[in-house]
Structure formats: C-alpha cells, structure tokens
Amino acid sequence: MKYKKHIFVCTNERNDGRECCGEQKGMELVACLKNLIKEHKLQKEMRAQRAGCFDTCQHGPAMVVYPEGVFYGNVSVEDLTEIFNEHLVAGNPVERLRIDLPQ
C-alpha cells in the first residue's frame, strides 16, 4: 500500500550525554499522530511510525513527512495538531517548524 503521507518520528534514545529526541517524547508524538489519523478516519491514507536518529538531534523531537521529505524540529504535541491540519490534511508545510538536514 502506498500512503499519501508517511510520517516518521525520531524516538532515538542516547546514553552518551548528547542531546537526543528521546524515546518518551518521540513515542508521545507517534501516539498523538496515530490518534489524529484514526479520529479523522485517514488510516488508509496516512501512516505514522517511530524511526531512528535523523542526525538533527539538537532540534529534537524531530520528524519527517514523506513523500515531500519535509523535516520538522522542536515539535510539541500542540505543534503536531497544527502540522496535521495544515500540512498532512491541507498540504501546506508549516514553515516556522521546518528544519534543514545537516549537510
């Protein structure tokens, strides 16, 4: 099955003292996204799942939306609702939350 939107949320946990998205924060975002998708009955069109580190750790919690490949950082649960409504449903990426991938 090909989804119209496939969202990966970093749930990586580091133990070496460097910044990270953290399993707990990441999993909270994944659960919240899954709920939004279910509430709107969009399970056939969208999928949210956990992912490993994107190397954007200083901007955690981080996530990426495919097929566009748009990365978001410092995402809170409130931000997620905005990303869901504006980007995933309406198709307009939320510019203020976008981050660039390290070169």
Among 56, 70, 75, 83, indicate the residue that binds ligand FES (CB under 6 A): 56
CB of 56 to ligand FES, least distance (A): 5
Query: Taking CB under 6 A as the rule, does residue 20 contact ligand FES?
Result: yes
Looking only at residues 22 through 51 of this chain, which bind ligand FES when binding is defined by CB under 6 A? none
**Residues 12, 41: Cα–Cα separation, whole Å:** 28
Query: Taking CB under 6 A as the rule, does residue 54 contact ligand FES?
Result: yes
Let me know if 65 is exposed, middle or buried by CB neighbors in 10 A (0-12, 13-18, 19+). Answer: buried
Helix and strand tally (H, E) in the chain? 2, 4
**Residues in binding contact with ligand FES, number by CB under 6 A:** 11
